[in-house]
Amino acid sequence: MQLLRSRSSLLAILLVIIIVIMSMLNPSFLSINNLLGVTQFGAVLALIAIGQSLVIISGNGGIDLSVGSMVSLSGVFIGLAMSAGLNIWIAAFIGILGGLLLGMINAFVISIVNMPPFIATLGAMYLYGSLALVLTGGNPISGFPQEFSFIGQGLVAGIPSQIILIVIPVFLLICFLVYKTTFGRSIYLIGSNQTAARYANINVKKTRFIVFSLSGLMAGIASIIMTSWLMTARADAGFGMELEAITVAVLGGIHIFGGLGHLGGVMMAVLTITILSSGLQMANVNSIWQLAILGFVLIGAVFLNQFLNKDNSKK
Protein backbone atom coordinates (compact mmCIF):
# COMPACT_ATOMS: atom_id res chain seq x y z
CA MET A 1 0.00 0.00 0.00
CA GLN A 2 2.92 2.31 0.76
CA LEU A 3 4.06 1.91 -2.85
CA LEU A 4 0.74 3.26 -4.11
CA ARG A 5 1.14 6.42 -2.04
CA SER A 6 4.25 7.45 -3.99
CA ARG A 7 3.62 9.65 -7.03
CA SER A 8 6.74 8.40 -8.83
CA SER A 9 5.86 4.76 -8.15
CA LEU A 10 2.31 5.21 -9.38
CA LEU A 11 3.46 6.87 -12.59
CA ALA A 12 6.08 4.16 -13.13
CA ILE A 13 3.45 1.43 -12.71
CA LEU A 14 1.03 3.28 -15.02
CA LEU A 15 3.79 3.71 -17.61
CA VAL A 16 4.64 -0.01 -17.60
CA ILE A 17 0.95 -0.93 -17.95
CA ILE A 18 0.52 1.45 -20.90
CA ILE A 19 3.64 0.12 -22.65
CA VAL A 20 2.53 -3.49 -22.22
CA ILE A 21 -1.00 -2.80 -23.51
CA MET A 22 0.17 -0.72 -26.49
CA SER A 23 2.79 -3.32 -27.42
CA MET A 24 0.08 -5.97 -27.47
CA LEU A 25 -2.11 -3.80 -29.70
CA ASN A 26 0.76 -2.98 -32.06
CA PRO A 27 4.05 -4.96 -31.98
CA SER A 28 5.92 -2.11 -33.68
CA PHE A 29 5.10 0.26 -30.83
CA LEU A 30 8.50 -0.26 -29.19
CA SER A 31 10.47 0.38 -32.37
CA ILE A 32 13.30 2.91 -32.24
CA ASN A 33 11.66 5.20 -34.80
CA ASN A 34 8.41 5.29 -32.87
CA LEU A 35 10.13 6.01 -29.57
CA LEU A 36 12.05 8.85 -31.18
CA GLY A 37 8.78 10.20 -32.50
CA VAL A 38 7.34 10.05 -28.99
CA THR A 39 10.18 12.14 -27.60
CA GLN A 40 9.75 14.70 -30.39
CA PHE A 41 6.12 15.24 -29.48
CA GLY A 42 6.94 15.06 -25.79
CA ALA A 43 9.45 17.90 -26.11
CA VAL A 44 6.73 20.39 -27.05
CA LEU A 45 4.38 19.10 -24.37
CA ALA A 46 7.12 19.20 -21.72
CA LEU A 47 7.81 22.89 -22.31
CA ILE A 48 4.21 24.08 -22.20
CA ALA A 49 3.49 21.76 -19.24
CA ILE A 50 6.28 23.47 -17.30
CA GLY A 51 4.66 26.86 -17.89
CA GLN A 52 1.20 25.48 -17.11
CA SER A 53 2.46 23.92 -13.87
CA LEU A 54 3.88 27.20 -12.61
CA VAL A 55 0.58 28.94 -13.38
CA ILE A 56 -1.40 26.31 -11.46
CA ILE A 57 1.01 26.30 -8.51
CA SER A 58 0.54 30.08 -8.16
CA GLY A 59 -3.08 29.42 -7.14
CA ASN A 60 -6.11 31.72 -7.31
CA GLY A 61 -7.71 29.45 -9.91
CA GLY A 62 -4.61 29.84 -12.04
CA ILE A 63 -4.86 28.10 -15.39
CA ASP A 64 -3.70 28.98 -18.90
CA LEU A 65 -6.09 27.80 -21.60
CA SER A 66 -4.26 29.76 -24.30
CA VAL A 67 -0.99 27.79 -24.40
CA GLY A 68 -2.00 25.81 -27.51
CA SER A 69 -2.98 28.95 -29.39
CA MET A 70 0.23 30.67 -28.28
CA VAL A 71 2.25 27.80 -29.74
CA SER A 72 0.34 28.15 -33.02
CA LEU A 73 0.61 31.95 -33.23
CA SER A 74 4.29 32.01 -32.22
CA GLY A 75 4.98 29.48 -34.99
CA VAL A 76 3.15 31.74 -37.43
CA PHE A 77 5.37 34.63 -36.30
CA ILE A 78 8.40 32.48 -37.19
CA GLY A 79 6.94 31.64 -40.60
CA LEU A 80 6.05 35.25 -41.43
CA ALA A 81 9.48 36.52 -40.35
CA MET A 82 11.19 33.84 -42.47
CA SER A 83 8.93 34.69 -45.45
CA ALA A 84 9.87 38.35 -45.06
CA GLY A 85 13.49 37.43 -45.76
CA LEU A 86 14.92 37.31 -42.24
CA ASN A 87 17.51 34.74 -41.24
CA ILE A 88 15.75 31.64 -39.90
CA TRP A 89 17.46 31.87 -36.51
CA ILE A 90 16.44 35.51 -36.15
CA ALA A 91 12.92 34.43 -37.12
CA ALA A 92 13.04 31.73 -34.42
CA PHE A 93 14.07 34.34 -31.86
CA ILE A 94 11.12 36.46 -32.96
CA GLY A 95 8.90 33.46 -32.28
CA ILE A 96 10.24 33.26 -28.73
CA LEU A 97 9.69 36.98 -28.20
CA GLY A 98 6.22 36.64 -29.70
CA GLY A 99 5.31 33.92 -27.18
CA LEU A 100 6.66 36.05 -24.34
CA LEU A 101 4.62 39.04 -25.52
CA LEU A 102 1.44 36.96 -25.73
CA GLY A 103 2.08 35.67 -22.22
CA MET A 104 2.64 39.22 -20.97
CA ILE A 105 -0.71 40.27 -22.44
CA ASN A 106 -2.37 37.48 -20.48
CA ALA A 107 -0.38 38.49 -17.39
CA PHE A 108 -1.49 42.12 -17.69
CA VAL A 109 -5.16 41.24 -18.03
CA ILE A 110 -5.01 38.82 -15.08
CA SER A 111 -2.62 40.61 -12.70
CA ILE A 112 -3.38 44.26 -13.40
CA VAL A 113 -6.97 44.25 -14.69
CA ASN A 114 -7.84 41.46 -12.18
CA MET A 115 -9.76 39.33 -14.65
CA PRO A 116 -10.15 35.67 -13.57
CA PRO A 117 -7.46 33.52 -15.23
CA PHE A 118 -10.00 31.07 -16.68
CA ILE A 119 -11.96 33.82 -18.47
CA ALA A 120 -8.87 35.78 -19.53
CA THR A 121 -7.03 32.83 -21.04
CA LEU A 122 -10.19 31.36 -22.59
CA GLY A 123 -10.68 34.65 -24.44
CA ALA A 124 -6.99 34.69 -25.35
CA MET A 125 -7.25 31.15 -26.71
CA TYR A 126 -9.91 32.23 -29.20
CA LEU A 127 -8.18 35.54 -29.96
CA TYR A 128 -4.72 34.11 -30.61
CA GLY A 129 -6.12 31.15 -32.54
CA SER A 130 -8.19 33.44 -34.77
CA LEU A 131 -5.25 35.78 -35.32
CA ALA A 132 -3.09 32.85 -36.43
CA LEU A 133 -5.77 31.89 -38.98
CA VAL A 134 -6.08 35.47 -40.24
CA LEU A 135 -2.33 35.94 -40.64
CA THR A 136 -1.93 32.69 -42.60
CA GLY A 137 -5.26 32.77 -44.43
CA GLY A 138 -5.70 29.20 -43.20
CA ASN A 139 -2.75 28.02 -45.31
CA PRO A 140 0.46 26.61 -43.81
CA ILE A 141 3.65 28.61 -44.33
CA SER A 142 6.41 26.45 -45.81
CA GLY A 143 9.80 26.95 -47.45
CA PHE A 144 11.92 26.73 -44.31
CA PRO A 145 15.66 26.15 -44.91
CA GLN A 146 16.85 22.60 -44.37
CA GLU A 147 19.23 23.52 -41.52
CA PHE A 148 16.23 24.55 -39.44
CA SER A 149 15.01 20.93 -39.35
CA PHE A 150 17.92 20.02 -37.05
CA ILE A 151 16.09 21.45 -34.03
CA GLY A 152 13.01 19.27 -34.43
CA GLN A 153 14.35 16.29 -36.35
CA GLY A 154 18.10 16.05 -35.67
CA LEU A 155 20.04 13.83 -33.30
CA VAL A 156 22.87 14.56 -30.88
CA ALA A 157 24.71 11.41 -29.77
CA GLY A 158 21.66 9.39 -30.82
CA ILE A 159 19.27 11.50 -28.74
CA PRO A 160 16.78 13.93 -30.33
CA SER A 161 18.40 17.35 -30.52
CA GLN A 162 15.40 19.19 -29.06
CA ILE A 163 15.73 17.12 -25.87
CA ILE A 164 19.45 17.74 -25.47
CA LEU A 165 19.63 21.34 -26.67
CA ILE A 166 16.30 22.77 -25.46
CA VAL A 167 14.15 20.72 -23.08
CA ILE A 168 16.83 19.60 -20.59
CA PRO A 169 18.56 23.04 -20.33
CA VAL A 170 15.21 24.84 -19.98
CA PHE A 171 13.99 22.34 -17.39
CA LEU A 172 17.16 22.69 -15.30
CA LEU A 173 17.05 26.48 -15.53
CA ILE A 174 13.39 26.63 -14.46
CA CYS A 175 14.06 24.17 -11.61
CA PHE A 176 16.88 26.41 -10.37
CA LEU A 177 14.58 29.44 -10.59
CA VAL A 178 11.74 27.69 -8.74
CA TYR A 179 13.61 25.71 -6.10
CA LYS A 180 16.76 27.76 -5.47
CA THR A 181 15.49 31.36 -5.49
CA THR A 182 13.18 33.54 -3.41
CA PHE A 183 10.93 33.99 -6.45
CA GLY A 184 10.29 30.24 -6.64
CA ARG A 185 9.37 30.05 -2.96
CA SER A 186 7.06 33.01 -3.50
CA ILE A 187 5.10 31.10 -6.17
CA TYR A 188 4.40 28.24 -3.75
CA LEU A 189 3.53 30.56 -0.85
CA ILE A 190 1.10 32.57 -2.99
CA GLY A 191 -0.53 29.37 -4.17
CA SER A 192 -0.82 28.02 -0.62
CA ASN A 193 -1.98 31.18 1.14
CA GLN A 194 -2.22 34.45 -0.76
CA THR A 195 -2.98 36.47 2.40
CA ALA A 196 0.07 35.09 4.20
CA ALA A 197 2.17 35.91 1.12
CA ARG A 198 1.06 39.55 1.29
CA TYR A 199 1.94 39.70 5.01
CA ALA A 200 5.36 38.33 4.06
CA ASN A 201 5.81 41.37 1.77
CA ILE A 202 5.56 39.33 -1.41
CA ASN A 203 4.31 41.27 -4.41
CA VAL A 204 1.50 38.94 -5.50
CA LYS A 205 0.61 40.85 -8.67
CA LYS A 206 4.23 40.99 -9.83
CA THR A 207 4.81 37.31 -9.12
CA ARG A 208 1.69 36.24 -11.04
CA PHE A 209 2.63 38.58 -13.89
CA ILE A 210 6.00 36.84 -14.20
CA VAL A 211 4.42 33.37 -13.97
CA PHE A 212 1.94 33.97 -16.81
CA SER A 213 4.69 35.62 -18.85
CA LEU A 214 6.83 32.51 -18.36
CA SER A 215 3.96 30.39 -19.65
CA GLY A 216 3.99 32.44 -22.85
CA LEU A 217 7.77 32.17 -23.07
CA MET A 218 7.58 28.37 -22.80
CA ALA A 219 4.98 28.35 -25.60
CA GLY A 220 7.27 30.50 -27.75
CA ILE A 221 10.20 28.12 -27.26
CA ALA A 222 7.92 25.14 -27.93
CA SER A 223 6.81 26.73 -31.21
CA ILE A 224 10.40 26.51 -32.52
CA ILE A 225 10.45 22.75 -31.97
CA MET A 226 6.98 22.31 -33.43
CA THR A 227 7.73 24.40 -36.53
CA SER A 228 11.10 22.73 -37.06
CA TRP A 229 9.51 19.29 -36.68
CA LEU A 230 6.72 19.99 -39.19
CA MET A 231 8.88 22.32 -41.35
CA THR A 232 5.72 24.39 -41.78
CA ALA A 233 4.03 27.06 -39.68
CA ARG A 234 0.41 26.05 -39.18
CA ALA A 235 -2.39 28.02 -37.53
CA ASP A 236 -3.63 24.84 -35.81
CA ALA A 237 -0.25 23.43 -34.75
CA GLY A 238 -1.01 23.73 -31.03
CA PHE A 239 -4.67 22.77 -31.20
CA GLY A 240 -5.79 20.82 -28.11
CA MET A 241 -2.44 21.05 -26.32
CA GLU A 242 -3.90 23.11 -23.48
CA LEU A 243 -5.87 20.06 -22.32
CA GLU A 244 -2.79 17.86 -22.52
CA ALA A 245 -0.69 20.41 -20.60
CA ILE A 246 -3.25 20.56 -17.79
CA THR A 247 -3.54 16.77 -17.71
CA VAL A 248 0.23 16.35 -17.51
CA ALA A 249 0.55 18.96 -14.75
CA VAL A 250 -2.15 17.41 -12.55
CA LEU A 251 -1.06 13.84 -13.28
CA GLY A 252 2.47 14.86 -12.31
CA GLY A 253 1.28 15.91 -8.85
CA ILE A 254 0.57 19.63 -9.27
CA HIS A 255 -2.39 20.41 -7.00
CA ILE A 256 -5.21 21.92 -9.05
CA PHE A 257 -5.82 24.57 -6.35
CA GLY A 258 -2.17 25.58 -6.20
CA GLY A 259 0.69 25.57 -3.72
CA LEU A 260 1.73 21.92 -4.10
CA GLY A 261 3.60 19.76 -6.60
CA HIS A 262 7.04 19.28 -8.13
CA LEU A 263 8.21 19.76 -11.69
CA GLY A 264 10.06 16.42 -11.59
CA GLY A 265 6.75 14.59 -11.41
CA VAL A 266 5.48 16.66 -14.32
CA MET A 267 8.32 15.44 -16.54
CA MET A 268 7.49 11.82 -15.74
CA ALA A 269 3.84 12.53 -16.50
CA VAL A 270 4.90 13.97 -19.87
CA LEU A 271 6.51 10.64 -20.74
CA THR A 272 3.39 8.76 -19.63
CA ILE A 273 0.96 10.92 -21.63
CA THR A 274 3.08 11.01 -24.79
CA ILE A 275 3.48 7.24 -24.82
CA LEU A 276 -0.27 6.87 -24.25
CA SER A 277 -1.09 9.31 -27.08
CA SER A 278 1.37 7.65 -29.45
CA GLY A 279 -0.03 4.21 -28.67
CA LEU A 280 -3.62 5.35 -29.24
CA GLN A 281 -2.66 6.84 -32.61
CA MET A 282 -0.85 3.68 -33.69
CA ALA A 283 -3.90 1.67 -32.62
CA ASN A 284 -6.01 3.90 -34.92
CA VAL A 285 -8.21 5.09 -32.07
CA ASN A 286 -10.47 7.95 -33.18
CA SER A 287 -9.14 11.39 -32.17
CA ILE A 288 -12.37 12.16 -30.31
CA TRP A 289 -11.90 9.06 -28.17
CA GLN A 290 -8.29 10.07 -27.59
CA LEU A 291 -9.50 13.36 -26.08
CA ALA A 292 -12.06 11.45 -24.02
CA ILE A 293 -9.33 9.20 -22.62
CA LEU A 294 -7.20 12.23 -21.76
CA GLY A 295 -10.20 13.73 -19.99
CA PHE A 296 -10.63 10.52 -18.03
CA VAL A 297 -6.94 10.58 -17.08
CA LEU A 298 -7.31 14.22 -15.93
CA ILE A 299 -10.28 13.40 -13.68
CA GLY A 300 -8.47 10.36 -12.33
CA ALA A 301 -5.37 12.46 -11.62
CA VAL A 302 -7.42 14.97 -9.61
CA PHE A 303 -8.90 12.15 -7.48
CA LEU A 304 -5.41 10.70 -7.06
CA ASN A 305 -4.05 14.05 -5.87
CA GLN A 306 -6.88 14.38 -3.36
CA PHE A 307 -6.19 10.88 -2.03
CA LEU A 308 -2.44 11.44 -1.69
CA ASN A 309 -2.82 14.90 -0.13
CA LYS A 310 -5.43 13.62 2.35
CA ASP A 311 -3.17 10.72 3.27
CA ASN A 312 -0.19 13.04 3.78
CA SER A 313 -2.33 15.38 5.93
CA LYS A 314 -3.27 12.49 8.22
CA LYS A 315 0.41 11.62 8.63
Q: What is the pLDDT of residues 27-49, one digit of tens each?
A: 777 776 676 667 767 899 999 99
304 HSE (CA, 13 A, CB side): 23
Q: Dihedrals φ, ψ of 59, to 5°?
A: 75, -160
Q: What is the mean pLDDT of residues 143-153?
A: 91
Q: Which of 38-42, 119-123, 275-279 has the highest mean pLDDT?
A: 119-123
Q: What is the pLDDT of residue 209?
A: 96
Supply the pLDDT for residue 308: 63
What's phi and psi for 117, nearest 5 deg?
Answer: -55, -40
Confidence bin at 58 (pLDDT 50/70/90): very high
Domain boundaries, the chain: 3-314
The stretch 146-169 carries a mean pLDDT of: 89
Burial class (CB within 10 angstroms; exposed 0-12, middle 13-18, buried 19+) of 26: middle
Q: Over the stretch 193-207, which tens digit does the pLDDT of each residue have?
A: 888 888 888 999 999
Helices (H) and strands (E) in the chain, counts: 14, 2
Beta bridge partners of 141: 233
Higher pLDDT, 78 or 6: 78
Q: How far is CA 307 from the centre of its chain?
A: 25
Q: Mean pLDDT in the chain? A: 86
65 class by beta-carbon count within 10 Å (0-12 exposed, 13-18 middle, 19+ buried): buried
Q: What is the pLDDT confidence band of residue 19, given thresholds at 50, 70 and 90?
A: confident
Q: What local confidence, expressed as pLDDT, does residue 309 receive?
A: 61
Cα 165 to its chain centre, rounded Å, is 17
CB atoms under 10 Å from CB of 236, counted, come to 15
- Look at residue 312 in the predicted model and tell me its pLDDT: 54
Task: List the alpha helices (DSSP H) in 84-203.
Answer: 88-107, 117-136, 149-153, 161-162, 168-179, 182-192, 194-199
**Which CATH fold topology does 3-314 show?**
ABC transporter involved in vitamin B12 uptake, BtuC (1.10.3470)
Least confident of 208-212, 267-271, 294-298: 294-298
Residue 4: pLDDT band (50, 70, 90) is: very low
Most confident of 2-11, 29-38, 132-141, 279-288: 132-141
What percentage of the chain reaches a pLDDT higher than 70?
90
Mean pLDDT of 88-95: 96
Surface-to-core class of residue 163, CB atoms within 10 Å of its CB (0-12 exposed, 13-18 middle, 19+ buried): buried
Tens of pLDDT, residue by residue over 92-111, are 999 999 999 999 999 999 99
Helix runs in 231-253, H state only: 241-251
Residue 315 has pLDDT above 70, yes or no: no
User: For residue 11, is pLDDT > 70?
Assistant: yes
